């Protein structure tokens, strides 16, 4: 699993480097979460990406598409070479996730704050159809400043969506600074608790803790779960870690090579 997470990280850096744009920081922070979800937890079928009974994932922080694309490619939803055309005019990998163009993407996202509502819709549909699939929604800690997140949180509780699991990527940084400085959504766990969620705090860059929390979430009945995952923005690349300037910037050639090396890859990758 560790190697999978590293490969996802290398592919994140690679995509952003080749595209000369994109969002490496928040992508690197969720690499471990996506690795566990797609390679351990989620029931998905690469040969039938739209399978009705599949578990679903909404990457509500859609700008971290490179992390999702790297994971989906590694899982086998599309060829790894496709990653080279991220953000390019002749490729399928749009700047933000597009469910109509990209196999394995369950919901189109990009405009922040909308994904939890969409995940609610999927979870409600699952309840209506008596299906036991689970729905995961990954939110940014800056993203929860959007009011719609809290509209959605109330809906998730009202309809007792225990088939829904929210994961907040708490990397503590957003474009204009630390989340405390910009508008301060803390305490995140208490907020979700007060909205009626089962809340689990974890280190979101620890594979074991991620796995354990997802198992725990499954056992909780009658209410949705929110996993508050404390992460490091830019995790795995020393010069990107906890640096807000790497929110949405591509590395130059030298930085790229260094990053790949730090992530255990070959220099010519």
98 lines the binding site for other proteins (CB under 8 A): yes
Give 71's contacts (C-beta < 8 A, 6+ positions apart): 8, 31, 34, 35, 37, 38
The CA distances from residue 220 to 24, 30, 102, 242, in Å, are 33, 23, 32, 33
Of residues 103-142, those binding other proteins (CB under 8 A): 106-111, 113-115, 117-126, 128-129
Burial string for 35-45 (b: 16+ CB within 10 Å, else e) reads bbbbeebbebe
Size of the site for other proteins (CB under 8 A): 35
Structure tokens at 194: 């007060």
Which is nearer to other proteins, 157 or 201 (by Cβ)? 157
Of residues 44-73, those binding other proteins (CB under 8 A): 52, 56, 58
163 lines the binding site for other proteins (CB under 8 A): no
Choose among 246, 264, 247: nearest CA to 10.
264
28 lines the binding site for other proteins (CB under 8 A): no
Residue appearing with tokens 């009202």 = 158
The pattern of x and - marking residues 206 through 245 that bind other proteins according to CB under 8 A reads ----------------------------------------
Which is nearer to other proteins, 27 or 114 (by Cβ)? 114
Taking the complex as a whole, the smallest distance from the CB of residue 105 to other proteins amounts, in Å, to 10
Stretch that binds other proteins, among 16-24, 78-86, 100-108, 233-241 (CB under 8 A): 100-108
Give bridge partners of residue 245 from the DSSP assignment. Answer: none
> How far apart (Å, rounded) are the C-alpha atoms in residues 115 and 244?
23
Contact residues for other proteins, defined by CB under 8 A: 52, 56, 58, 98-100, 106-111, 113-115, 117-126, 128-129, 147-148, 151-152, 154-155, 158-159
């Amino acid at each position: 699993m560790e190697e999978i997470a590293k490969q996802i990280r290398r592919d994140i850096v690679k995509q952003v480097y080749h595209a000369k744009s994109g969002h490496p920081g928040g992508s690197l922070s969720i690499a471990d979460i996506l690795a566990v979800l797609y390679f351990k937890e989620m029931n998905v079928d690469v040969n039938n990406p739209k399978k009705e009974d599949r578990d679903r994932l909404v990457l509500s922080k859609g700008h971290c598409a490179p992390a999702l694309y790297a994971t989906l490619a590694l899982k086998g939803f599309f060829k790894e070479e496709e990653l080279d055309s991220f953000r390019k005019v002749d490729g399928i990998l749009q700047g933000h996730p597009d469910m109509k163009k990209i196999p394995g993407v369950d919901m189109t996202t990009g405009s922040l704050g909308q994904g939890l509502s969409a995940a609610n819709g999927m979870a409600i549909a699952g309840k209506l159809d008596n299906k036991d699939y689970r729905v995961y929604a990954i939110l940014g800690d800056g993203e929860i400043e959007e009011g719609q997140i809290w509209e959605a949180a109330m809906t998730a509780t009202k309809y007792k969506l225990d088939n829904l699991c929210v994961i907040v990527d708490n990397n503590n940084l957003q474009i204009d600074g630390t989340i405390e400085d910009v508008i301060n959504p803390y305490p995140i766990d208490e907020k979700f608790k007060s909205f009626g969620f089962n809340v689990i705090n974890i280190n979101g860059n620890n594979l074991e803790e991620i796995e354990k929390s997802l198992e725990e979430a499954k056992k909780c009945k009658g209410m949705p779960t929110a996993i508050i995952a404390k992460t490091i923005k830019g995790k795995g690349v020393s010069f990107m870690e906890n640096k807000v300037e790497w929110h949405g910037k591509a590395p130059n050639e030298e930085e790229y090579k260094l990053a790949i090396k730090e992530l255990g890859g070959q220099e010519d990758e």
